[in-house]
Structure 1
């Protein structure tokens, strides 16, 4: 396992504990095994679709009466 995977496994995230650390190690190992082609820049259309997904679903701030 790489040094960065070990660093992530040490629990630098909130809620660190044995379950979180175990999952972090698992995720780091899976990332190392994943083909490099899966790590690519999204196309302009993919990025727009991604942003639109969250813009449509983001809660609006309530209007305050003055």
Structure 2
């Protein structure tokens, strides 16, 4: 459900909140040693982040400083 609702989200504030919750959930999965869920969770995260990842630009834009 989250994947469909937020896959095309590009607001930084929204992503900070999403990533905080996913980080907490990942910690619970790690702590509980739920290995069979870990792989599925990682796949879910990769799919959720794929759209925003593909929007990232690694080459500097014209007039863009080193700190951008």
TM-score by length of 2: 0.28
Higher-RCO chain (CA-CA 8 Å, sequence separation at least 6): 2
Larger-Rg structure: 1
Specify which structure has the higher proportion of helix: 2
